Amino acid sequence: MTEPSPRPGLARRDATVVFLVALALRLILLATSAGDPVVRVPMLDAEYAVDWARGIAAGDVWGSPEHTAYFRTPLYSWFLALAFGLPGPDLGVARVLQAILGALAAVVVARMAGRRFSRTAGLVAGGLAATAWPLLLFGRELLIVTLAFLLGALSLDALDRAFSGPSIRRWIVAGLWIGLACVARANFALLVPVAAALALLGPARRLPHALAVTMAAAIVIAPIAIRNHHFSGEWIPLSWQGGINLYLGNHPGADGVSATLPGFTSWRNEDVEALLTRELGHRPGPGEQDRHFRALALEYLRDSPGDFARGLLRKTALFFQSYEIRNNRDLYWLRDRTGWLRGPWPDWGWIVPLAFVGLFVGGPARRWRPLLPTLAYAAALAASPILFFVCARYRIPAWPAFLVLAGAGGAAIVGPGVRPPRRLAALAAVIALVVVTRLDPFGIRNPDVAPVHFQYANVLARIGEDAEAEREFREALAITPGYPEARYHLGALLLRQGRVGEAFPELDAAVRAMPSSFRARRSLAEAWETAGRADQAIPLRREIVALTGGALEDRFQLATALGLAGRYEESLAEFRALDDTPLRDDSDFLLNAGQTALALGREDLGLEWLERALERPDAREFASDALARYWLSRENWDAGLRVLSNGLLRTPDSEPLLRLRAHARRATGDATGAIEDWEHVLRLAPGDSVATEELAGLREQAGP
């Protein structure tokens, strides 16, 4: 039996209208929200992508923030790096390009719906893609979502074309698009076996087609796998965040929507690394970390299959309900900050009902087989968030298939030639399903709004609006007094402002509320050191070292705190242990270790470390000052003056070195040299009272 041929695609004029409407709305959104700090300042995942892209633009094309295998797939940061190379403000250019890509994606969806169903279906699908407010907002965010949506639409369209008109060339094209989508977001890898199965189930049912689509995808993915092996020594095809994401959605206490590591108030890569370092006794490589968390999730499945199954059912229901579940930014708050988006723009809660109506009402059963690519795509891309955890942006890759079906559902209601009974039945079904998708059996529609104030406060703090940031932090705490992250960030803000006394209670409360947090302890330890109580910081510094599994930076801070507290023997022991680590070449380490050794009279060690510091441009001035003070304190004037003179040869306008040499020259009777140094200081700092007095005294002493 031959397959029914697809209907003619959307007319070029129709596609142009869809494109222009989609592009206009996205550009209007950019223009009307350009001044909003929430838009101007990349935070969290957006900041990660932007920082990575800046490194790529600077020439580190194959690099990654973790300096090992890719934790996240690189295509979006490559896209941003390309945008940053174009004329205009970096982030603005990137957002305009995203607006164009979003409009193109709407056209791809519209043309496929038109080809598969009817012109009306194409216009409905394209109209929904052009005007859905979540897509509009995500098109403005510096996240992978827009690129993933476009590549998903292109992959689906290519699969549909290959399935309905099978040829090696079409299956290769489908494989290439799927491979590129995988480099954008790893969960598209689920489409590879789906595509191979479709090639075997299609009209031709040919194994070469299945091999062609699989190999084409593999060819695109292969360079990423080879690169990952080069940087990590492990074969990681795309990225290594799959294991942790699987565990976040499948562990005792998982709610299906929260990306929270058990025992922590949030999930950060450094938390994960510290936790595993403590548990395993060493810092795990990317592959080991991925396997560890995948094993924990599978252990949960084995030990609690009923809870695991109930979790999947819950996440399935959450996937199909209409509420846009936030990940780290609340979409409804973002929408409300742009007034015109508060209107009745379509969202997932309309698309899903229309899609189900399009599937069951919009076309006869004989047309279900040609819909296999659309249905298989929808199932594969829905399986990813359902298996992991559900949030608005993680279900966006599934949107293209649902939009195509929603076009058919819309055509069943507003299309020409539809009989009234059928039209009414379709409309009634859509309304009933809209109501169902808006039911809230899990109580997710009224989430705690404190995180909204918390996130906004962090944006304000980033741009230096400290007073407003403090107000937002306190608003978050007024709503949720036990919000530990807000207490920690408020305390850190107060500490940065020098309000140490006010920072103490906030940081102390955060430490008590977050027993696994080393960041809160770092800030509290810094507060004690700022207050001149390094002895109080030492127990905290020891806890931090334990929590981070002995991170070098934290061991260094412990050694420094011991020195500040006058516990030089313990401090020196820590510094000597660190001298066998990569930290041995760090300027701060060399300066602190050298001064600690000299304070204990260990001249051999102290001089060695400070001499090494002299070789580093960023430490040269401080090392010269420390060495000179040591020699001068021992009344070794020649050595002290030699160090100062050598230092000033390299940094001739160093006020600290000039002042110290002026004092040393005066002490050795070289009034002329001291006068020269003080005159130099005054040229650098006119009106300096100390230099003026010293110079006057020397001139009076020298006489006419």
Q: CA-based Rg of the chain, rounded to a whole angstrom? A: 32
Residue 374 has which token pair?
A: 């659309």
Phi/psi of residue 697, each to 5°?
Answer: -65, -40
Mean pLDDT of the residues in the chain: 90
Residue 504, number of CB atoms within 10 A of its CB: 17
Tokens encoding 448: 């705690």
> Which has the closest alpha carbon to 347: 424, 419, 403?
403
Residue 5 DSSP code:
P
Tens of pLDDT, residue by residue over 237-287, are 999 989 989 999 999 989 888 887 777 766 677 778 888 888 888 888 899
- What are 56's two structure tokens? 């790529």
- pLDDT band at 8, cuts 50/70/90? low
**Beta carbons of 518 and 503 less than 8 angstroms apart:** no
Provide the 3-class DSSP secondary structure of residue 34. Answer: coil
Q: What are the pLDDT digits (tens) for 62-71?
A: 999 989 999 9
Determine the average pLDDT of the residues in 673-695.
Answer: 88
pLDDT in tens, 415-445: 888 888 888 988 999 999 999 999 888 888 8
Mark 195-205 as b/e (b = at least 16 C-beta within 10 Å): bbebbeebebe
Is the pLDDT at 90 greater than 80? The verdict is yes
CA 513 to chain CA mean position, Å:
25
**What is the greatest pairwise CA distance in the chain?**
117
Q: Give the alpha-carbon dihedral of 537, 542, 545, 548, to 10 degrees.
A: -80
> What angle in degrees, to the nearest 10, is found between the helix axes of 145-164 and 399-414?
70
Could you tell me the CA-to-CA distances from 402 to 129, 221, 396, 399 in Å, in that order? 10, 27, 10, 5
Q: What is the pLDDT of residues 580-618, one digit of tens each?
A: 898 888 899 999 999 999 888 888 889 999 999 988 888
Mind listing the pLDDT tens digit for each residue in 97-140? 999 999 999 999 999 999 999 999 999 999 999 999 999 999 99
How much of the chain, in percent, has pLDDT values that exceed 90? 66
- Distance in angstroms (rounded) separating the CA atoms of residues 658 and 669: 16
Q: How far apart are CA 356 and CA 412, in angstroms?
A: 11
Alpha helix stretches (DSSP H) within 534-688? 534-547, 552-564, 568-578, 587-599, 603-614, 620-633, 637-650, 655-667, 671-684
Residue 7 confidence (pLDDT) = 56
pLDDT score for 370: 85
pLDDT for 5: 47
Among 454, 392, 353, which Cα is nearest to 133's? 392
Kindly report the number of other CB atoms within 10 A of residue 111's CB atom: 23
Cα(388)–Cα(256) distance, rounded to whole angstroms? 8
pLDDT at residue 366 tops 50: no
Tell me how far apart the alpha carbons of residues 171 and 175 are, in angstroms, rounded to a whole number: 6
Write the DSSP assignment of 188-232 as a string of letters: GGGHHHHHHHHHHHSSS--HHHHHHHHHHHHHHHHHHHHHHHHHH
Q: What 3-state class would DSSP assign to 619?
A: coil
Helices (H), 233-257: 242-249
Question: Which of 127, 577, 138 minimizes the C-alpha distance to 345?
Answer: 127
For 465, counting Cβ atoms within 10 Å of its Cβ (0-12 exposed, 13-18 middle, 19+ buried), the class is middle
pLDDT given at position 704: 58
Of 409, 316, 383, 322, the closest CA to residue 134 belongs to 322
| Measured CA distances, 437 to 30, 427, 567 (Å) | 30, 15, 64
Task: Convert the pLDDT of each residue in 141-191 to its tens digit.
Answer: 999 999 999 999 999 999 999 998 878 999 999 999 999 999 999 999 999
Question: Residue 525: what pLDDT?
Answer: 95
**Which pLDDT band, with edges at 50, 70 and 90, does 356 fall under?**
very high
Average pLDDT over residues 560-565: 91
Cβ atoms < 10 Å from Cβ of 637: 16
Mean pLDDT of 501-507: 95
Q: 10 Å Cβ neighbour count for 686?
A: 9
**200-205 contact pairs (CB < 8 A, 24+):** 201/372, 202/162, 202/163, 202/166, 203/2, 203/3, 203/163, 203/164, 203/166, 204/166
pLDDT band at 362; cut points 50, 70, 90: low
Which burial class, exposed, middle or buried, applies to 417 when counting CB atoms under 10 A from its CB (0-12, 13-18, 19+)?
Answer: exposed
